[in-house]
Chains A and B, each alone.
Chain A
């Protein structure tokens, strides 16, 4: 279904692989029926008002963030741990996500599965996800059950415990998850390989779900060691949004989470990505009919500060919206609509991470139209960048993008869960609760000249990694599917 939609602020932080509904930059949940967690929305509390969120530090070093919203008698409660796949080591990739699964498997006072049974009885909806940078456990609940939910979450955060055979069973489930998300999807596999080429030193190179070989080799002790190493109060934040009183919640959090013993968080190795000094290129050959082209350019990260690279990051965000922020934006117009009889792509997109604990990339993607080569699609994507570099953008385009984001800020108020999620992700990135407001305000300072300037500076081949998913008929299996393939229409 075509839809005229604004590039809601979540595009600001879209991570690699959300572009074409394929690979996952955020692994969903311990028990979703295959759904992928939605991208973190980035909008903040009301523009121009005092921040509605408040932040505290508990006596044991755990962070507490509270954002009251009394529209409805429900609450979103999240526990964020600043550990994700980027904190793993080679050989045990995927352990952060496995641990997320094992957090549901018991404590000294709860049998495996009992956590979820109790949550369900309270009327809570609950789940968890793991990303490159974080692991988050979340519940949505009626506000009169907040204390019970907090007690359950605090207990498993502090006292996770399970027998080895629980681990063995759950590893089978995790492998099915990998099969479902990755092995089954040529595009997902391609993105996995693309990440590993884009980042050579930085742990962003590894998949969140983990390489299958590492999953096969994982041991219960790997998971217990990881838990012990990273799950301490100073490395975690509780984020609560909804029908709550700040003072009461703070007292409750101190009472329930506060007693968890403080421990020092381990030092992290920087694993800086060396500067890329030349183009990289790969093919991924698979059983597909449609090719896919991905161009990844190394880009700066927004830190919330005042460095020139911060302003560049904001300008890059605007650029991605100008290219792909609404129906009929530049990539849509040039590649998908194309000139009569000369469509380049069936779909095309741009995305840019903006924020993250690790290095960022600006991505351009295209699915070439039938009869169009990947090389032609690549050239067309680059031509759009060159056009901005050469001719700049118009003030109307810039205004349109800001309008969409501003409207998105308002629509975003409708979801208390999204607000909690956003506050948590700012904390993960080491930024404050006013980040949303600050981001919107800074975005408004971006000028057309700045957008043109970043288009000129960040898109040379030196910073480029290219991946092409190539249809390879030789990969067709000997056993044919049951029905003959439908005939292709011709126009």
Chain B
């Protein structure tokens, strides 16, 4: 490890963002020649850099018969690097050692909407140069080794089979099926779907989706604009051969037309309870009333209504929560809890009652004020590390939010009224038409 690491003591510089006159996060933004959109937040005080590349290539792009394709592609992308002119191939161990010797981390993953590639590296010049070059090779020339896919598929299938022994697996499957129907958000990765995925399928998936013209690159760390430019250029050059293939539209999630009730017998120490329906898309104009409202209902932890009624007053559950998952499509709204099997019916009744009352009457003024206090006063905790800055920037990029989104954030929370929450929740949630899944309950 280079001695210059030891001089980092001298480089402590304040991240200047406390002045009211400045942006909450000063984001520099430009478009690369390839069409990739770049977002940079210089953060000089620690000699490290985080880069995240996001493209449209999440699991919503899977086919039902090949559920798990996006994730499998992300996994195998990392495995090995093929030979390139002047550069030898790197097998999985050479690659593992190379990353370890740089003290850097390279990763890839797929969520419902996004295919993400990430790099974390030190910014000492030689290490930065080599880490970026190696990341570019991984992007440009993944080897897609058949034998590694065989191995990883076996391991994954063994884990899936094992997961069938857990009640949570059955709860999630039944809930997703009930809420999403045939929408890709509800696709179930199974041994059969993994067996239908070939290396050629993954190569093809990667080429189609990892397109520079659609890429969003977020960078947070001890670099300047010129360095960011060079890094983005290397990465986009690496994926230039993928071209810019148009992607088909994905349908929206259909609302539920009737209530669904699934009670699945299972021998377990706890019953799993999940209640929900499709929620809202990220671009919904009522985004703030909905998240503030959910904070009160069951997202705000210890001070939420669900925790108060289910855990504090009745001792029914250790964990109980509600969440929305807004994405490009209406991800699920879900209330979830686990409880002793003989208490499942009671827990369902309490959760339903809390939800119905909340949708009908909304929160109290005191609850709304408490939620605002928490969200507004705690704002600094959302941006006080490079990791958090990166997540925020990537979120702004992905959702097409204005660059000054975080400057207005606390104000928009403050503006939420009781009427806003009631209107939004009544529009988005229909408690009488929700899916209820209970696994392992005992009457």
Contact = CB atoms under 8 A, between A and B. Distances in A.
Contact of B381 (A48, A123, A488): A123
Contact of B162 (A33, A180, A290): A290
B191 interface: yes
Interface string B287-324: 00000000000001111000110011111111111000
B384 to A, nearest CB: 4
A414 B386 contact: yes
A411 interface: yes
A172 interface: yes
Given A48-B6, A145-B377, A173 B165 contact: no
Interface in A129-170: 140-143, 145, 168-170
B182 interface: no
Interface string B199-225: 000000000000000000000000000
B399 interface: no
A72 interface: yes
Contact of A121 (B96, B165, B268, B374): B374
Contact of B319 (A112, A180, A333): A180
Nearest to A3: B107
Nearest to A347: B155
Contacts of A404: 100, 103
Nearest to A340: B147
Contacts of B173: 483
Nearest to A8: B105
B325 interface: no
B356 to A, nearest CB: 22
Given A116-B303, A290-B158, A489-B194, A172 B315 contact: yes
B174 interface: yes
Given A343-B154, A407-B122, A482-B264, A176 B377 contact: no
Given A123-B381, A170-B315, A400-B97, A482 B9 contact: no
Contacts of A414: 46, 48, 385-387
A383 interface: no
A173 B315 contact: yes
Contacts of A3: 78, 105-107
Contact of B100 (A6, A34, A121): A6
Interface in A15-43: 30-34
A125 B14 contact: no
A31 B380 contact: no
A307 interface: no
B257 interface: no
Contacts of A416: 384-385
B66 interface: no
Chain B: interface size category: 35 or more
A142 to B, nearest CB: 5
Interface string A159-200: 000000000111111111101100110100000000000000
B92 A328 contact: yes
A33 B79 CA distance: 34
A489 B103 CA distance: 37
A282 interface: no
Contact of A410 (B8, B152, B159, B167): B8
Contact of B155 (A172, A184, A333, A346): A346
Interface string A308-339: 00000000000000000111110011001100
A70 B14 contact: yes
A457 interface: no
B150 interface: yes
A326 B96 contact: yes
Interface string B316-338: 11111100000000000000001
Nearest to B194: A489
B83 interface: no
B416 to A, nearest CB: 16
Contact of B103 (A116, A175, A406, A415): A406
Nearest to B109: A1
A268 interface: no
Nearest to A407: B103
Q: Name which of B15, B120, B165, B321 has the most chain A CB atoms within 10 A of its CB.
A: B165
Contact of B107 (A4, A141, A142): A4
A370 interface: yes
Given A488-B157, A489-B157, A71 B15 contact: yes
A346 B158 contact: yes
Contact of B105 (A4, A116, A184, A343): A4
Interface string B96-139: 11011111111111000000000010100000000000000000
A183 B166 CA distance: 12
Nearest to B138: A4
A485 B164 contact: yes
B339 interface: yes
Nearest to B91: A328
A477 B158 contact: no
Contacts of A346: 154-155, 158-159
B162 A288 contact: yes
Nearest to A168: B315
Nearest to B104: A407
Contacts of A486: 160-161, 164, 190-192
Contacts of B312: 112-113, 169
Contact of B92 (A337, A343, A482): A337
A251 interface: no
B101 A400 contact: yes
A491 B18 contact: no
B411 interface: no
Contacts of A481: 164, 170, 264-266
A269 interface: no
Nearest to B177: A483
A184 B8 contact: no
B1 interface: yes
Residue among B14, B267, B268 having the largest count of chain A Cβ atoms under 10 Å: B267
Contacts of B174: 482
Given A48-B6, A120-B370, A486-B192, A125 B147 contact: no
B383 interface: yes
Closest 6 CB pairs of A and B: A123-B377, A407-B103, A172-B315, A328-B96, A123-B378, A72-B384
17 contacts: A1-B107, A4-B105, A6-B100, A33-B321, A113-B303, A121-B370, A123-B376, A169-B313, A176-B317, A288-B165, A327-B100, A333-B93, A404-B100, A413-B46, A481-B170, A485-B164, A486-B191
Interface of B: 1, 5-6, 8-9, 14-15, 17-18, 45-48, 71, 74-75, 78-79, 92-93, 95-97, 99-109, 120, 122, 147, 150-155, 157-162, 164-167, 170, 173-174, 190-192, 194-195, 262, 264-270, 300-303, 307-308, 311-321, 338-340, 370, 373-381, 383-387
Given A174-B318, A180-B270, A491-B150, 12 more contacts: A2-B152, A5-B105, A33-B321, A72-B384, A120-B302, A120-B370, A121-B373, A346-B159, A367-B158, A410-B46, A482-B174, A482-B265
